[in-house]
Amino acid sequence: MPEEIKKLVQKYQEGKISRREFILKAVAITGSLAAANAILGPLLSSPLHAAQVDPNDPVLNSANVQYPGKAGPVFGYLSRPKGLGKHPAIIVISDSAGLVDHFRDVARRYAKEGYLALVPDVLSRHGGTAKANPKGTGLGNIGELAPLDAVSDYVDAGFTYLKSLPEVRGDRLGLTGFCWGGGMAFGSATRVRGLRALVIYYGESPEPLDLVKDIEAPVLAHYAEKDPRITNGVPATEQAMKKYNKSYTYKIFPGAQHAFFHDGRPDRYHPEAAKEAWTRTLEFFKTHLKA
């Protein structure tokens, strides 16, 4: 085993670096995710993807759930703080990979901050992510999931489900989405009533742009410099939001690529941009959902 790998393993075992840092450094040393996995797999107690919040975190209740949708049951993952009291709730719309571990982890991160977070399985109509996308690489026919389906199954029905839970503050509802899910969240916000805050991660804007006139919630958006298909549309989006006097705050992160927040993708993950975007997200949700 190369000396660099040995030193890295020692640092991890001594608790000097996190699992996520360990994984990213291992990929940098070996040159590829596959090579890192092959060399380091036996040394780790779990697969290469590193959760930031343990699925069994003792202060959270996290589990798969199911709720009624327009065309049948919708599968999902819900994470919430343990204990008494009511909390704001956030729906997280995933990218085209569906309900994979990364988005379960994102839900738990929100729960650690005092929110109930629901990730609807956007592949529910295809039988669920485990059936439609078993390798977690994405679904080629994600375009078959029309925006109206997303609104009815994953947002409208999702918020109805959340508001039925006794620990949810029904007047403090947030929505966020990533990539394909970012576009779905942005579009959904033009139709969903009662939304208090919307956060977009490199998602397409509503089409036509004049639909933004119906958005009730303030919008925070995160974009990547090296993502021209999405980012080139930001000036027009900003103009439309100003035209209708809507709150729209955004940042284009220098050097970042599409999916820069996804720490399960070392080829795209940008630690600095992801950290700043998450900090901005938490401050935004705190202002609009906890005040």
Domains of the chain: 3-43 (no CATH), 60-290 (3.40.50.1820)
pLDDT of residue 41: 56
**Catalytic (active site) residue 263:** no
Say whether 227 is catalytic.
yes
Residue 35: its pLDDT value, please?
A: 63
Structure tokens at 257: 């690529």
Q: Which pLDDT value is given to residue 139?
A: 58
pLDDT at 46: 38
pLDDT of the residue at 47? 39
188: which 2 tokens? 């959904």
Contact between residue 55 and residue 46 where contact means Cβ atoms under 8 Å apart? no
Q: Check residue 192 and give its pLDDT.
A: 93
Annotated catalytic residue: which of 153, 227, 262, 288?
227
pLDDT in the model for residue 153: 77
Catalytic annotation, pick one of 121, 179, 263, 270 = 179
On whether the pTM is more than 0.85, the answer is no
Q: What are the DSSP calls for 113-127, one per residue?
A: TT-EEEEE-TTGGGT
Catalytic site residue from 87, 102, 258, 270 = 258
10-residue averages of pLDDT along the chain (291 residues): 70 54 77 64 46 91 94 93 94 91 96 97 86 67 64 86 96 96 94 96 96 98 97 98 98 96 88 96 98 83
Burial (0-12, 13-18, 19+ Cβ within 10 Å), 26: buried
Tell me if residue 91 falls in helix, strand or coil: strand
Please give the pLDDT value at position 28: 84
Is position 126 annotated as part of the catalytic site? no
> What sign does the CA torsion over 136, 141, 143, 144 have?
negative
